Amino acid sequence: MKHISLIALLLMFLGVSTFAQDDADMKVPARGKKGRIQVITDPPNSDVYLGGKFLGKSPINDMVVQTGRQTLVVVDQGYELVNVRFNVWPDSLNVYNARTVIPKGGIEVTTIPSKCYITIDGESADYTDGSSLLVKNLDAGDHTVGAKCGNKFKEMLVTVKGEETAKVTIDVTKK
């Protein structure tokens, strides 16, 4: 029994030592030196900030900056699309490459019957007059879409994703 306890204790010690070694390997770049960065966004022409300082419009190519762990922020059309910790290592090119998505989208609503009043989140949107209705510039996230045809009303929850159009069909004739 003592041998099993000693083995368990030894294994536990080795496990703790391994985790401590992993923490020691997670280094932060030294401050006060010079490093180079490249920031590429798709689409381009976003405002890029590093450590609170405006660097310019993306893409940023091979710019010399201070080393260290800094905050990289990318802003486009007034939306903060990226806010990450970014390590700038000395004597190397540090690259950030990302697809940025504006957090706005749309919903295309088709109704059965084809002529209904549409609401988005309880607010009047418009009328489907024999064809689908496209509602643009909605915040990304969940929205309640309603259709009122005569005295019948039906709602559904629709998820809007950035720079995408969700297509829904609301059949008011079904319960």
Q: Are 41 and 68 in contact (CB under 8 A)?
A: no
Average pLDDT over residues 68-85: 95
Fold match between domain 34-99 and domain 104-171: yes
Residue 76: pLDDT above 80? yes
Cβ burial, residue 89 (10 Å; 0-12/13-18/19+): middle
pLDDT number for residue 120: 97
Q: Tell me: the pLDDT tens digits for 129-172?
A: 889 999 999 999 999 999 999 999 999 999 999 999 999 999 99
Q: What is the model's pTM?
A: 0.68
Buried b (16+ CB within 10 A) or exposed e, 44-69: eebbbbbeeeebeebebeeeebbbbe
Q: Are 146 and 154 in contact (CB under 8 A)?
A: yes
Architecture of domain 34-99: Sandwich (2.60)
Hey, CA dihedral for 41, 99, 78, 36, is it positive or negative?
negative
pLDDT number for residue 174: 86
Average pLDDT over residues 44-73: 96
pLDDT number for residue 160: 97
pLDDT number for residue 11: 44
pLDDT number for residue 26: 64
Domain ranges of the chain: 34-99, 104-171
Residue 65: pLDDT above 80? yes
Q: Tell me: the pLDDT tens digits for 8-35?
A: 444 444 444 444 334 444 688 989 899 9
Average pLDDT over residues 109-117: 95
Query: Selecting from 1.20.120.420, 3.40.920.10, 3.40.50.970, 2.60.40.10, what CATH number does the domain 104-171 have?
Result: 2.60.40.10
**pLDDT averaged over the chain?**
88
